[in-house]
């Protein structure tokens, strides 16, 4: 396993453990998710042994979305969160599926249609760093397992804050740092040895799943992300650790 790099060079950012020009990262991430889109849900079930559904259910419940609200699911991928929010907001509300990747967005549209969810669920190809929505548009914004792939996370947090209504909430569901050292070592072994092999045999793409493992290690830990949200302007930021800190949900509000 390659050691985690300590920081970015000027004009560069991390793509997993690789240093790439800042202008290239979005393209590289797009290539990864275009490659894995068709097998994304199957791989999620295999990689997490189905536990990702429990993590998502926790985030959905924590969001507390009500009938008539407007919800934006950023980096919504295949639409698991969007589907739940569409049902919660009902015909009088709005749930928007957004993703920067066209292949993932198309997969999400297809899955929503298969679930019989149509009507109040527009799908928008959008970059989290510069969301194409008016100020104060949404009661709730979620981003599930997507923030770690964003080049400028601070810009994305500011963009999501801007598009929230006053009193609205942001929920970030993301891989994080295991709380116990022994468990963290086991998790590293699983991430760097098992996941790429699953990618090779199931998705026929070992490199993309190696990147995904590295991107998890490069993502800010619980306290760092909490501080980033507060610096972006969110208040009452709370952190909920799941599965020993493998995943965390951060929730913050716009004043």
Residue 149's contacts (CB-CB under 8 Å, 6 or more residues apart) are 29, 33, 75, 215
**Secondary structure of the chain as H, E, C letters:** CCCCCCCCCCCEEEECCEEEEHHHHHHHHHHHHHHHHHHHHHHHHHHHCCCHHHHHHHHHHHHCCCCCCEEEEECCCCCHHHHHHHHHHCCCCEEEEEECCHHHHHHHHHHHHHCCCCCCCCEEECCHHHCCCCCCCEEEEEEECCHHHCCCHHHHHHHHHHHEEEEEEEEEEEECCCCCHHHHHHHHHHHHHHHHHHHHHHHCCHHHHHHHHHHHHHCCCHHHHHHHHHHHCCEEEEEEEEHHHCEEEEEEECC
pLDDT tens for the chain, 255 residues long, are: 556 666 677 789 988 899 999 989 888 888 877 877 777 776 677 778 889 999 999 999 999 999 999 999 999 998 999 999 999 999 999 999 999 999 889 999 998 998 888 776 999 999 999 999 999 999 999 999 999 999 999 999 999 999 999 999 999 999 999 999 999 999 898 888 888 887 787 777 788 888 888 998 899 999 999 999 999 999 999 999 999 999 999 999 999
Q: What is the pTM of this model?
A: 0.90
Q: How far apart are CA 184 and CA 146, in angstroms?
A: 21
Pick the closest to residue 226 from 203, 247, 252, 199 (CA basis): 252
Taken in order of first residue, the domains within the chain and their CATH numbers are 12-253 (3.40.50.150)
CA atoms within 13 A on the CB side of 21: 3
For tokens 């601070």, the residue is: 154
- Could you tell me which residues are annotated as the binding site? 78, 99, 127-128
Pick the closest to residue 140 from 85, 185, 204 (CA basis): 85
Please state the φ and ψ torsions of residue 43, each to the nearest 5 degrees.
-65, -35
Q: Is 171 exposed, middle or buried (0-12, 13-18, 19+ CB in 10 A)?
A: buried
CB 191 within 8 A of CB 216: yes
CB atoms within 10 A of CB 91: 10
- What radius of gyration, in Å, describes the C-alpha atoms of the chain? 17
- Could you tell me which residues are annotated as the binding site for S-adenosyl-L-methionine? 78, 99, 127-128
Please state the φ and ψ torsions of residue 250, each to the nearest 5 degrees.
-105, 130
Q: How far apart are the first and last CA of the chain?
A: 43
């Amino acid at each position: 396993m390659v050691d985690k790099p300590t920081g970015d060079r000027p004009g560069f950012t991390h793509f997993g453990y690789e240093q790439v020009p800042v202008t290239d990262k979005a393209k590289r991430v797009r290539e990864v998710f275009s490659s894995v889109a068709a097998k994304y849900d199957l791989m999620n079930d295999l990689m997490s042994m189905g536990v990702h559904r429990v993590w998502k259910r926790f985030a959905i419940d924590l969001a507390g979305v009500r009938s008539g609200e407007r919800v934006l699911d950023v980096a919504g991928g295949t639409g698991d969160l969007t589907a739940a929010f569409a049902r919660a907001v009902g015909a009088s509300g709005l749930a928007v599926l957004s993703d920067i990747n066209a292949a993932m967005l198309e997969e999400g549209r297809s899955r929503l249609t298969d679930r019989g969810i149509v009507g109040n669920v527009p799908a928008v190809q959008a970059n989290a760093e510069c969301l194409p929505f008016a100020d104060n548009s949404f009661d709730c914004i979620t981003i599930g397992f997507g923030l770690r792939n964003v080049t400028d996370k601070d810009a994305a947090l500011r963009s999501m804050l801007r598009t929230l209504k006053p009193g609205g909430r942001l929920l970030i569901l993301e891989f994080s740092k295991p709380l116990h050292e022994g468990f963290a070592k086991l998790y590293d072994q699983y991430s760097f040895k098992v996941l790429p092999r699953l990618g090779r045999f199931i998705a026929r793409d070992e490199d993309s799943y190696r990147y995904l493992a590295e991107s998890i290690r490069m993502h800010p830990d619980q306290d760092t992300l909490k501080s980033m949200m507060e610096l972006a302007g969110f208040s009452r930021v709370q952190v909920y650790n799941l599965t020993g800190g493998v995943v965390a949900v951060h929730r913050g509000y716009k004043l």
